[in-house]
């Protein structure tokens, strides 16, 4: 099956530093990747949609200068939390939608990474 690798799984950083989270589709090409944030016992909140080779589309209320997204290749998207503060502590999840014609998975399914727990001290 389609596998999405997300790294790191857990990161602790000091307030004011930047943290980069990687999302890789291991066995398929993904023209579109999504970044979510999940608070404890809550649903996934979409932060942004990342398309390969173009700027990310951010959801309303998400600061694009705080959460930098880069989708430089068909298998890699990164989320950088800049100048992180304790309120940015959360669980971040990425997902990938296989490119059309790859024959991977069924239509319109997103494959999820295992998530990254970010703790900002």
Binding site for another protein (CB under 8 A): 32, 34, 38, 41-44, 46, 49, 57, 91, 93, 95, 97, 106-110, 112, 114-115
What is the closest distance, in whole angstroms, from the C-beta atom of residue 16 to another protein in the complex? 27
Q: Report the alpha-carbon angle 10-13-15, nearest 5.
A: 140
Maximum CA pair distance of the chain? Answer: 44
- Which stretches of 7-61 are DSSP H helices? none
What is the closest distance, in whole angstroms, from the C-beta atom of residue 89 to another protein in the complex? 15
Q: Would you say 7 or 82 has its CB closer to another protein?
A: 7
Q: Would you say 75 or 95 has its CB closer to another protein?
A: 95
The reply to whether omega before 8 is within 30° of 0 (cis) is yes
| Coil, strand or helix at 62 | coil
What is the closest distance, in whole angstroms, from the C-beta atom of residue 83 to another protein in the complex? 26
Q: Would you say 74 or 82 has its CB closer to another protein?
A: 74
Contacts of 62-69 spanning 24+ positions with Cβ under 8 A: 67/35, 69/35
Q: Would you say 18 or 119 has its CB closer to another protein?
A: 119
């Amino acid at each position: 099956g389609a596998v999405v690798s997300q790294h790191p799984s857990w990161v602790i950083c000091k307030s004011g530093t930047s943290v980069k989270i990687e999302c890789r589709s291991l066995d398929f090409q993904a023209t579109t990747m999504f970044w979510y944030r999940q608070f404890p016992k809550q649903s996934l909140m979409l932060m942004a949609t990342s398309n390969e080779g173009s700027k990310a589309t951010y959801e309303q209320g998400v600061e694009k200068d705080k959460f930098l997204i880069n989708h430089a290749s068909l298998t890699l998207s990164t989320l950088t939390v800049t100048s992180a503060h304790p309120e940015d502590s959360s669980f971040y999840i990425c997902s990938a939608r296989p490119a059309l014609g790859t024959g991977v998975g069924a239509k319109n399914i997103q494959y999820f990474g295992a998530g990254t727990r970010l703790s900002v001290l």
